[in-house]
Every structure is written in C-alpha cells, then in structure tokens.
Amino acid sequence: MEIKQTRLDELPSWAALKANAAELKGQSLASMFEADASRADEMSVDFGGYHYDFSKQLASPETIKLLIACAREAGIEERIKAMFAGEAINVSEDRSVLHLALRAPKGDEIIVDGVNVVDQVHEVLGRMGDFTDKIRSGEWKGATGKPIRNVVNIGIGGSHLGPEMATIALSHYSDREMKFRFVSNVDGSDFAEKTLDLDPEETLFIIVSKTFVTLETLTNAGTARDWIVDALGEDSVEHHFVAVSTNAEGVAKFGINTDNMFGFWDWVGGRYSMDSSVGLTIMCAIGRENFAEMLAGFNAVDEHLRSAPLEENMPVLMGLIGVWNRNLLNLPTVAILPYVAEMARFPAYLQQLEMESNGKHVMLNGDQVGWDTAAVFWGEPGTNGQHAFYQMIHQGTEIVPTEFIGFCDPIYPLGNHHDLLMANMFAQAEALAFGRDAETLRAAGSPESQISARICLGDRPSTTLLIDGQLTPRALGTLVALYEHRAFTEGVLWGIDSFDQWGVELGKVLAGTLADQLMDADKPDLQHDSSTNSLARRYRASQKRPV
C-alpha cells in the first residue's frame, strides 16, 4: 500500500513542540503543580477501569495538545484505519498487520484478499480449546497411558517471551496440578534444568516455530525428541509433541501428527502473537474460558484505539509521551516498574515489543531517520527494584522516565501487604517528582555533613497506570494491548515500519556459518575478521579440534 511518508522534523507542530520544550526547561514539577491545582485531572485519562496519570511528566497541558496535533499531522488516524482495514502497513514485507484479528469477536469481519480472517482465527481457537480441554481433563494420554502433567513450551523470541510472561502473570488462574516450563536458550543448561525433575511419561512438548527451521528452537526440539525417545521409544513422539507452525512438511518429518499442528498467518508478527496459537501453553495453563477473557481485554483496547478521540485515547497518549521524552527531552531509557510480583517478566516482554518494533534507522521510504527512535526498556517489579537500581533513578546523573503499574486489589490479600505495596508505588513516584532539598533535610535534623549526599533533585518524570480490581486474564490482555498500540503510535510519528525486524537476520546468517565451522572435524577455512577468526580458533582448540 502507499503510505503517507512524513518527516517528524517537518511537521507543522514540531517547531512549536521544540519551543514548548525550551519554555519548560528549568521549570520544576513542584512549580507546575503549584500553578495548576487541577493538573492531575487535566493530565490523566480513564478507560475500562484503567487510570493513566501522566501529570508527573516534565510536560504541560499545552505539550499534550501539541503532541496530539503532531500525531494528526503524521497521519495517525489514517494509519489506524489502514491497520483495521487489513492494508499492508508492514511496508518492507508488503504484509497486513492484523494481530487485531486474533482477538476480534466471532462474527466480526476483517477481510484480507477476499477472506474473512476472523473466521479462520476462531476455527484455530476452537481447535486449541478442544486440545487444551483434553490436556487439562487428562483425556490426552502419553505413550504409556499416563495423563499429561507437564507442558514444556519450546520457542524463542515472540514464541517464548509472551507465553512465558503471561503464564507466570496468570499463575493464580492456572491448573496447579500441572507444571509449565519454557525453554528458549540454545545453551544446553536451559533444557537440562527445565526438564530435570520431569517424568517423560507425563510430559508434553509444544514446539512453537512458524517456519519450523529456527535454529535455536529446532535444536532444543531435537534434544526434547531424543529425551522422549530414549525413555519411551520412537513410537512415543506423536503422543508427546504438538506443533505451532505453518510448515506441515517439517512438522511431519519431525514425527508430529499434523492433526496436532496449530497454524497461524504471515500477518501475525512474533512479538504480537501471544494471543494466537502461539499462546497454546497459556491456554493449557489457564483454560479456554480464561484465554477468551484475555482476548476480550485485548479487543477492548483495539476498539478504544479505533473509536476514542486522540485527546482521550490512552495508548496514543502513551506513545506521544514516549516521543516527547525520547525526542524533545532526549531521554534514552524507560524503566518499567510493575508493583505486581507475578509480572516479573513483563519488563522483558516490553523490551522486545518496543525495541524490536521501533529500533529502526530508516523510514518507510528507505531514507535515514533524522532523530532517535526506540528507547531502551528495562525494569523489575517493585518493591524489589527499590533496593537495587532506584538509587540511580533518584540521584544518578541520567534522568530515567519511569512507568509505574499497580492494581487496586491484590491476588492474595495477606494482612496489610497490599496497602504497603501501593504506598511504596505512590511514594516512589512522588519522591521522583518532587525530590528532597537541603532545607527539608535540615528541618528534619539531618547532620550537615550528610546534607549534600542526601539531596534528591526531583523532576524525574513518571507515569502511573492504576488499575481497578486485580490482575486477571482480561486485565493482562488490556495491559499488553495498550503497550502494543503505544509502540505503533511512536512508530507512526517516527515514520518507521514498526512491524518488520530485519535487524535480527544478519546475526542468524553468520551464526549458521560459524556453527558449521566450529563443529567441522577438519580445519575450517576461516575468512572472518581477525578477532572472530581468533576467537573461533581458541574455541576449537578448547574442544581439541584442528586449528
């Protein structure tokens, strides 16, 4: 499709935004709150029990108006419509971007090449549900007649991070009679440790690879196959393996019955795929009804993105604030701080979502970008992070925008734990914004010798997502979709393709060549740079191979 190509630095509102940033420079958050008693109300939005407070950003209501104007000038509304219409907004691969269809309700229509892909999605969801019912009820038996009690997901990237993150996050809803493990690293210790205490007779492997040729995944899958065959024999494979793939030939060659292959489509990007058949392990853990609830959360945000005015559109505002911090305030990182223990893998999940989507150096038309793109995402759950890296966020020389995520209700209401947890989250955001000066310290009786060391300068920007209720499947789907569309919004303003990932290809190609050379029984002809050649020879020597 032909997409309107815009340059961020040539948008009519961009100059006004730069002037706004210059005007705000030197103004403190304390002074902004003192000057505007309604700031918290003006700079927050609500949607579906989610309250997004961005009033502690180093921005003003005028900033937000200018950012929205920029988004309109960049064509955000047209790009949203194009995405929902199934147009090929993944320009470099000439593909539609339709993770939206994965969570569309039955009966909806999203037409691609004359086919309603929503019908296809629900056919696969139905097959997934039937399969997971058999696993969870014990109807599906292993080769020796025992029910499956252990499910091991083998994948990498989007075929691993999403399912692992969601299964851990929703552990409260999972079948506690079963174990769920995730293997992704080609380091052999990953497979060995994850299967150490498992009984092959009760273990099912879900191999997740769209192409069924991904080196790391197929290496681990081959080791899993050997593990099962050594214990149970060659005929056991079809009882202990299923596949999520589009490569029926490769799946059958592996020994998996293609009746037990769950497909998906080229318009599903890996980092947007946890709500497709890639999430089969999630469904095994939480059941088809809870999986449907998670999809409903995704879909609610999709409809919000499509219908809400930009001024009230939560994921769009999240993306615009990301652009403000990255490009106007020149802040290169973002700390993701969920105050939910079960969301331990959420920062890593968002790392891939943001940095694989928007870590690009060329625009849609192939021109070099003239501005910074993806921020570095990192983080840990609170309160653990408070006793680790928060010191740097409060007093370090680098300003780090932070994003706090908390739920009003706990999963486990133990004593006053949740009140203390939330008090910490609110307090950290307050401390980052307003700091602590020398006068306050002296009034509190701090020794003069400690004053300078204890000062916190404040003006460290943060947002807070405060969510009604507790972490449920629907809430998780909502949260993930908000961040998906945030990344999309940023990409539109930066003028890049947020849906390809060519940067991961080169390393894979070189690794394939080097793997052959490292394992060659004869002395290989190494024609890399001198450093790579030296490292390869040193490794081969350690393995007693000719160098």
> How does pLDDT run across 221-234, given as a tens digit for each residue?
999 999 999 999 99
Helix axes 473-494, 161-169, angle to 10 degrees: 140
Three-state secondary-structure class, residue 26: coil
Got the DSSP string for 108-136?
A: ---EETTEEHHHHHHHHHHHHHHHHHHHH
Parallel/antiparallel/unpaired status of strands 402-407 and 115-116: unpaired
**DSSP tag of 20:** H
Q: Is the peptide bond before 383 cis (omega within 30 degrees of 0)?
A: yes
Question: What's the whole-model pTM score?
Answer: 0.96
Ranges in the chain, pLDDT < 70 = 1-4
- pLDDT given at position 114: 87
Q: Which of 25, 361, 387, 544 is catalytic?
A: 387
CB atoms within 10 A of CB 424: 16
Give the DSSP H or E segment for 236. none
Is residue 508 part of the annotated active site? The answer reads yes
- pLDDT given at position 479: 98
Got the DSSP string for 137-206?
A: HT-SB-TTSPBP-EEEEE--GGGTHHHHHHHHHTGGGS-TTSEEEEE--SSHHHHHHHHTT--GGGEEEE
Which residue, among 332, 318, 331, 335, has the nearest Cα to 479 in the 3D structure? Answer: 318
Q: Which of 356, 403, 484, 490 is catalytic?
A: 356
Which residue, among 252, 278, 254, has the nearest Cα to 265 in the 3D structure? Answer: 278
Q: Which of 81, 106, 417, 508 is catalytic?
A: 508
Paired tokens of 90: 């993944």
Is residue 122 part of the annotated active site? The answer reads no
CB atoms within 10 A of CB 527: 9
Is residue 356 part of the annotated active site? The answer reads yes
Tell the residue number behind the tokens 């307090």, with chain if given.
Answer: 427
- pLDDT given at position 113: 83
